[in-house]
Amino acid sequence: MTQTIVITGSSSGVGLAAAKQLAARGDEVILVGRDTGRLAAAVDQVRQAGGREPRHFRADFEQLDDVRELAARLLADYPRIDALANNAGGIINRAHLTVDGHEATMQANHLAPFLLTHLLRERLTGARVVTTASRAHVQGRPGTNFAEDLRSYSSWRSYGASKAANILFAAEAARRWPDVLSVSFHPGVVRTNFGAGKLTRLFYKYAPGLVSPEAAGDLLTWLLTTPAGELENGAYYVGHTVTRPAAHARDPKLAADLWDASLTATGLAKE
């Protein structure tokens, strides 16, 4: 059965690899990316893989209005969404607040997908949400004040905290929305253009032992398509294996507090 699958961060890396694999299976893939040029190139690759033009939308997750506009367009155009891959994310080297008043890494990696998933909630009954996390979650514990003191900013600590937030969100969504299959996963340390700063980018391009985008895409594709009964709702996967994340990333109270703070930060608490 053909599925309709939305993949954020699908203009490169893991998201693009999975999009091509899913298109080759015959699924309808909807691409979401920030960079117009990379998104256009991704559309060409997915077209070649699947034989038809994929729909695509540009959205900058450092602007929550972009997320709201994206959700509105998806709701208007798609009566059914079978799966949402919250895959967009990155390390932001320069400490700054977004136009919405939040630390940029936490907004792009956690608050934006949190908002998108909530806005698409009516389409996700009986569907699944797969959120790309990372083993880097061990490096940071998310707080509930998203406008943190930028004087003590660390790009890797903030990134780690955002990835812990991804794991907490996936688990809390499974608790609150039992009709939605929600999981998170670590894709491996992937050879991509990921990272902030010259040295980090060089590492992600040339370091030995890195996972190829195609291998990581295989894992995302598996999580998006394998029968729901074969997956554990709320779990964090490393490879095909359910894995216990760090203690702070499996704390149900922190997950609940983060959820409530995220509702407020994204304006959803007022609705």
3-class SS at 118?
helix
Q: Which pair of tokens denotes residue 207?
A: 């370091």
Q: What is the rounded CA–CA span in Å between residue 89 and residue 107?
A: 10
153, 159, 236, 237: the catalytic one is 159
What phi and psi values does residue 6 have, to the nearest 5 degrees? Answer: -95, 130
DSSP 127-190: -EEEEE--GGGGG----S-SS--GGG--HHHHHHHHHHHHHHHHHHHHHH-TTSEEEEEE--SB
Q: Which pair of tokens denotes residue 194?
A: 């990921």
Q: How many CB atoms lie within 10 A of CB 228?
A: 10
Q: Which pair of tokens denotes residue 52?
A: 């038809």
Q: What is the rounded CA–CA span in Å between residue 144 and residue 248?
A: 13
Q: What is the rounded CA–CA span in Å between residue 263 and residue 271?
A: 10
What phi and psi values does residue 232 have, to the nearest 5 degrees? Answer: -100, 115
Q: Does 206 participate in catalysis according to the annotation?
A: no
Q: Which amino acid is at 7?
A: I
Bridge partners (DSSP) of residue 5 are: 29, 83
The answer to whether 248 and 164 are in contact (CB under 8 A) is yes
What sign does the CA torsion over 8, 125, 117, 132 have? Answer: negative
Catalytic site positions: 159
